[in-house]
């Protein structure tokens, strides 16, 4: 019996853009939590939920947190803890940036993911100083 070759499928363009966005946010935060400064197991959190691709790939809409800050803080089932972390994030990023992100939720945007990919690649080079 002949062994089948596995065909490696390319990642979807959206997944590639998600990965680039995460890397941009990590690099912008200098690979540490923006709340605690810790460097253990980092995750990126969308500050404002992402009803459209404009917010999904907006670098200003990402904040770098530790895994515990993300899971047990932001996504805590205890609303007092979750709201506390949400308020800390707003204090950290500033009200102007938060209001700007909220304003992007209202728009209807047509997104070309090929251009988003190029944009994020260029932003990553700028952030890393390349």
Alpha-carbon gap, residue 44 to 114, rounded angstroms: 22
- pLDDT at site 110: 86
Question: Is the separation of the CB atoms in 76 and 85 below 8 Å?
Answer: yes
- Asked if the model's pLDDT at residue 2 lies above 70, the reply is no
- Asked if the model's pLDDT at residue 10 lies above 90, the reply is no
Model confidence at 21, pLDDT cuts 50, 70, 90, reads: very high
pLDDT in tens, 41-76: 999 999 999 888 899 999 999 999 999 999 999 999
pLDDT in tens, 107-120: 888 889 999 999 99
On the 0-12 / 13-18 / 19+ scale of CB atoms within 10 A, 119 is middle
């Amino acid at each position: 019996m002949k062994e089948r070759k596995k065909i490696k499928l390319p990642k979807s363009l959206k997944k590639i853009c998600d990965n680039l966005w995460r890397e941009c946010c990590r690099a912008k935060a200098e690979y540490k939590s923006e709340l605690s400064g810790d460097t253990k197991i980092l995750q990126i959190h969308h500050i404002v939920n992402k009803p459209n691709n404009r917010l999904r790939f907006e670098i200003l809409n990402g904040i770098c947190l530790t895994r515990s800050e993300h899971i047990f803080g932001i996504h805590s089932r205890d609303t007092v803890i979750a709201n506390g972390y949400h308020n800390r994030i707003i204090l950290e990023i500033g009200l102007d940036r938060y209001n700007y992100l909220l304003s992007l939720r209202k728009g209807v945007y047509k997104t070309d993911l090929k251009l988003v990919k190029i944009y994020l690649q260029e932003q990553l080079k700028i952030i890393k100083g390349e």
